[in-house]
Amino acid sequence: MANILIVGCGSIGLQLAEVLIAKGHRVTGLKRTPPILSSASINYIAADIASIDQLKEIPTHFDVVYFIVSPDGRNADSYQAVYELGLNNLLSRFKAANANPQWLFVSSTSVYAQTQGEWVDENSVAEPDNITSQFIRQAEQQLTRLNLKNIVVRFSGIYGPGREYLIRMARQGSAVQQEPPYYTNRIHQADCVGVLAYLLEKSLVGMPLEQCYLASDNGPASMYEVISWLAEQMSCKPPTVKVFDSMAQLNKRCNNQRLKALRYEFIYPDYKSGYSELIKSIFVR
């Protein structure tokens, strides 16, 4: 049994906590505002990681720390508050207590600046050109230098209940680039939880792990293909064709072979399997 801290503990963190507790681990969630009603099995600490004063008294006796944060906004200040200031505050607190837990850091494939449909994996150049992703990349590097056992997990576009952006696009008949293909990548939030729990399980039994894993499903696909398929499933009009955008960002294809080599089996291996279930749940609401 491991003593685990989940920093952030939002939607994915809460689902992860439930999985880990079911496996016999002890889980603490750190949030600015813990839920009023929560599982009795999850201990909560109320603190803002951007405030060093609020972290002075938090316990540090954890074996593993998951860092799963969501910035308040899509701007530099919000990302700096959690990925630079917040992370440094936590590291300072653990260092002062002479504690050195293993970290599993949730990152993003936005750290790749490739835009021409290239395949990327963990060995690809990760030099983001936007400031928000630069803060994420900086945090990755800081943690991997700190301890060889620390692990970075780069998720591609997360979807699932409450994360239905592409479904809304399909229902609205949004304009989408068709040629050349604009590639997109995604992972169902259930697999986000699955991957994070799986990596911990392998680490605890002593399996040698890499410091970085790209977590995306098996099917990179063009945005036009995905939106067209979604529209068809919902009996909506197909998307209109958008004029080629030479400045399009995040156009790449994610290779998940390192993760699959660990024998992780995706719950939803492609967008059709994941979105089929999601569409059904939406129309039942």
On the 0-12 / 13-18 / 19+ scale of CB atoms within 10 A, 48 is middle
> How much is the pLDDT for 284?
59
How far, in Å, CA of 41 to CA of 123, rounded?
A: 39
For the stretch 249-274, pLDDT in tens is 779 999 999 999 999 999 999 999 99
Mean pLDDT (10-residue bins), the chain, 285 residues: 95 95 96 78 93 95 97 96 98 97 98 95 97 98 97 98 94 91 96 98 97 97 96 94 75 97 98 95 70
> How much is the pLDDT for 281?
86
> How much is the pLDDT for 285?
53
> How much is the pLDDT for 282?
81
How far, in Å, CA of 8 to CA of 71, rounded?
A: 10
> Domain map of the chain by residue range?
3-159+186-218+253-268
3-state secondary structure the chain: CCEEEEECCCHHHHHHHHHHHHCCCEEEEEECCCCCCCCCCEEEEECCCCCHHHHCCCCCCCCEEEECCCCCCCCHHHHHHHHHHHHHHHHHHHHHCCCCCEEEEEEEHHHCCCCCCEEECCCCCCCCCCHHHHHHHHHHHHHHHHCCCCEEEEECEEEECCECHHHHHHHHCCEEECCCCCEECEEEHHHHHHHHHHHHHHHHCCCCCCCEEEECCCCCEEHHHHHHHHHHHCCCCCCEEECCCCCCCCCEEECCHHHHHCCCCCCCCCHHHHHHHHHHHHHHC
On the 0-12 / 13-18 / 19+ scale of CB atoms within 10 A, 99 is middle
For the stretch 172-218, pLDDT in tens is 998 999 988 999 999 999 999 999 999 999 999 999 999 999 999 99
Tokens of 16: 């992860």
Instruction: Name 240's Cβ contacts closer than 8 Å, sequence gap at least 6.
Output: 173, 174, 175, 176
In this prediction, what percent of the chain has a pLDDT beyond 70?
A: 96
Pick the CATH number of 3-159+186-218+253-268 from 3.40.50.720, 3.10.450.40, 3.60.40.10, 3.90.1170.50: 3.40.50.720
> How much is the pLDDT for 38?
65
Contact indicator for 103, 91 with CB cutoff of 8 Å: no
How far, in Å, CA of 11 to CA of 72, rounded?
A: 15
CA-nearest of 265, 218, 254 to 122 is: 254
> How much is the pLDDT for 31?
94
> How much is the pLDDT for 219?
92
CA–chain centroid gap for 23, Å, is 22
In angstroms, the Cα distances linking 140 to 63, 143, 198 are 19, 5, 20
